Amino acid sequence: MGLSRALRGLGVGVGLLLSASIAEAASVQVAQNAPPPALPPAVVQSLSQAGDAASLEAAVKAAVAANPNLAVDIVTVAVGQRPTDAAGIAAAAASADPTDAAAITVAAIAALPPGQQENDAPFIVAAVEQAVPGSTDQVTTAITALAFSPVGPVGTRGNEGAPLVAPHTDVQSSLH
């Protein structure tokens, strides 16, 4: 049991390190290319009027409970407004929609400003896993999939099509 926990912890750690750079690239692309999510005006208002971390977490939890299909967008907007509270925001959203705990975790990490993902990702994962007991496997799988995805969240390269570097078929041997 101890070995499997240690291996899972190692897998999560490696996944977090790899996903941080991927999430950073995704957040840059999201900031540059994607339109803001289409949230109901009442949700946007409740998030922007939250004065402190506790009221923002309550607003996120209520918004996700009322709109579970928008959980990722709600988390993205909330973390974008207050990135220092990302762990609490993700935990509040995941507790309101436990089936989407993994997607919420990835969205919270990706919504952080570039350079902050690496430091805050472990806290977000821990907060979500504490808020939703039993979500460890779901969250670990999502982060590992994000980290090792051939396309990644940016969607720039898949496994199909021409290679990025042409094969070298005309290499000269220095032994002639």
Q: Is the pLDDT of residue 142 over 70?
A: yes
In a domain, 26, yes or no: yes
Position 128 pLDDT exceeds 70: yes
**Is residue 130 one of the residues assigned to a domain?**
yes
Lowest pLDDT segment from 12-26, 111-125, 161-175: 12-26
Residue 169 located in a structural domain: no
Among the listed residues 37, 43, 127, the one whose alpha carbon sits nearest the alpha carbon of residue 90: 127
Question: Element (H or E) spanning 41, and its range?
Answer: helix 41-48
Q: Are 92 and 60 in contact (CB under 8 A)?
A: yes
Closest to 80 (Cα-Cα) out of 54, 56, 58: 56
Which of 25-39, 86-100, 114-128 comes out lowest in average pLDDT?
25-39
Q: In this structure, is residue 160 part of a structural domain?
A: no
**Residue 22, pLDDT score:** 44
Question: How many angstroms separate the CA atoms of 112 and 108, rounded?
Answer: 7
Torsion of CA 6, 12, 18, 23, to 10 degrees: -160
In which band, very low, low, confident or very high, does the pLDDT at 66 lie, cut at 50, 70 and 90? very high
- Burial-class residue 11 by CB neighbours within 10 Å (0-12, 13-18, 19+): middle
Mean pLDDT check: name the lowest of 15-29, 39-53, 87-101, 115-129.
Answer: 15-29
Asked if residue 63 is part of any domain, the answer here is yes
In a domain, 158, yes or no: no
Phi, psi of 56 (to 5 degrees): -65, -45
pLDDT at 64 over 90: yes
pLDDT top residue among 106 and 141: 106
124-130 average pLDDT score: 90
In a domain, 8, yes or no: yes
Range of the domain at 14: 2-148
Q: What is the number of domains present in the chain?
A: 1
Q: Looking at this protein, which amino acid is placed at residue 29?
A: Q
Instruction: Determine the Cα–Cα distance for residues 106 and 88; give it in Å rounded to an integer.
Output: 14
